[in-house]
């Protein structure tokens, strides 16, 4: 047991002195008429009276110990390790193509909405891109803004300069967001349906090297009908991620579940913290109060 204010314990000298006085006190002798009958003193009664009179000094000692702030080390705590996840969604014109019950964009945002439930406690950011990049939601554990975003950045309503697919530009912008976070893992989930001109001529390998150096893993979901472009395969594979091709809306939801399983949540054990430890002293004090109250019914020192 440790104490938050150990200097207070020096006051324990006061109840110690009171206990010495209580047990060494002889009192005054009083002659009672006993018809010349010899009366022996009772050590048991003397002991009971001494114990009863010791209760107040002992209560004072308990109060001093409580004022000193008794503490103990708590149990080590396991906490969830944060993962920073940047959702990078394509809003080019091709994302208006039919997919399931809606468009590719609609299906992607519905699957992302479910993915947010899988990863409660992580930090999410949302970036929309075409030929330009727009960071719509900064990294945050409050996902309400992401859930409310689909109507505002539909491919049908975005400005004309979003009309292409610049994946490398978008990933680099997401990299800048993630590298500002010092705590936790870093992950990019790229949702696109097209080919990107800015990943050709070895740019994919160069970009993957930068991401890997920054401890950023890239998962890609190719929602188009064409085969996955090789640069996307290189970008994900070299960073430790993977690329997926969902055939339908159910497959898209399964992809996000698989990403969740692959990027498992990490648990960290934190150092134990000091906690107040009043219970033993409180029980001792209450016991002494009870015994002292009982002793007042007949076991007490008479000063005459």
The reply to whether 141 and 201 lie within a common domain is yes
Query: Which class for 261: exposed (0-12), middle (13-18), buried (19 or more C-beta within 10 A)?
Result: exposed
Single pTM value for the model = 0.61
**Res. 206 pLDDT band, cuts 50 70 90:** very high
Question: Structural domain of residue 9, as residue ranges?
Answer: 2-74+274-295
Same domain, 46 and 113: no
Same domain (yes/no): 33, 173: no
Which residues on adjacent β-strands are paired with residue 90?
129
Task: Identify whether the C-beta of residue 139 lies closer than 8 Å to the C-beta of residue 89.
Answer: no
- 103 pLDDT band, cuts 50/70/90, is very high
> Measured between alpha carbons, how far is residue 46 from residues 21, 40, 236, 300 in Å?
14, 12, 87, 10
User: Is residue 48 located within the same domain as residue 127?
Assistant: no
Q: What is the mean pLDDT of residues 124-137?
A: 93
Q: Would you say residue 81 has pLDDT above 70?
A: no
Assess contact for 30 and 65: CB atoms under 8 A. no
Q: Give the closest residue to 17 by CA, choosing from 49, 64, 61.
A: 61
Q: Based on the structure, what is the number of domains in the chain?
A: 2
What local confidence, expressed as pLDDT, does residue 304 receive?
A: 46
Among 17-21, 209-213, 246-250, the least confident range: 246-250
Please write the tens of the pLDDT for every residue from 215-256. Answer: 999 999 988 878 888 999 999 999 998 888 887 777 777 777
Same domain assignment for residues 224 and 117: yes
Helices and strands in the chain, H and E counts: 9, 13
* Residue 302 counted as domain residue: no
18 and 166 share one domain: no
Residues 177-202 have a mean pLDDT of 88
Mean model confidence pLDDT for the chain: 82
Q: Give the model's confidence band at 272: pLDDT under 50 very low, under 70 low, under 90 confident, else very high.
A: low
Domain identity same for 61 and 114: no
Q: Are residues 278 and 261 in the same domain?
A: no
If asked whether residues 98 and 203 sit together in one domain, one would say: yes
């Amino acid at each position: 047991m440790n104490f938050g204010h150990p200097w207070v314990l020096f006051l324990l000298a006061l109840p110690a002195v009171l206990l010495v006085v209580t047990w060494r006190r002889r009192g005054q002798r009083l002659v009672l008429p006993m018809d010349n009958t010899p009366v022996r003193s009772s050590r048991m009664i003397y002991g009971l009276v001494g114990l009863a009179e010791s209760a107040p000094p002992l209560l004072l000692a308990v109060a001093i110990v409580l004022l000193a702030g008794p503490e103990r080390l708590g149990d080590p705590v396991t906490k969830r390790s944060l993962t920073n996840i940047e959702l990078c969604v394509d809003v080019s014109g091709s994302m208006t193509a039919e997919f399931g019950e809606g468009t590719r964009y609609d299906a992607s945002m519905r699957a992302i909405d479910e993915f947010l439930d899988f990863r409660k406690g992580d930090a999410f950011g949302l970036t929309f891109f075409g030929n330009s990049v727009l960071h719509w939601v900064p990294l945050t554990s409050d996902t309400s803004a992401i859930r409310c975003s689909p109507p505002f950045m539909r491919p049908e309503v975005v400005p004309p300069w979003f009309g292409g697919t610049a994946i490398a530009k978008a990933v680099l912008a997401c990299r800048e967001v993630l590298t500002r976070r010092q705590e936790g893992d870093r992950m990019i989930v790229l949702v696109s349906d097209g080919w990107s001109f800015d990943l050709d001529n070895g740019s994919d390998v160069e970009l993957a090297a930068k991401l890997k150096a920054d401890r950023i893993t890239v998962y890609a979901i190719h929602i188009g009908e064409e085969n996955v472009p090789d640069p996307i395969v290189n970008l994900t594979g070299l960073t430790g991620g993977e690329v997926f091709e969902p055939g339908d809306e159910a497959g898209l939801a399964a992809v996000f579940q698989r990403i969740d399983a692959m990027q498992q949540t990490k648990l960290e054990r934190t150092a134990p913290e000091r906690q107040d430890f009043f219970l033993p002293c409180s029980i001792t004090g209450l016991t002494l109060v009870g015994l002292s109250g009982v002793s007042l019914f007949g076991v007490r020192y008479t000063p005459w």
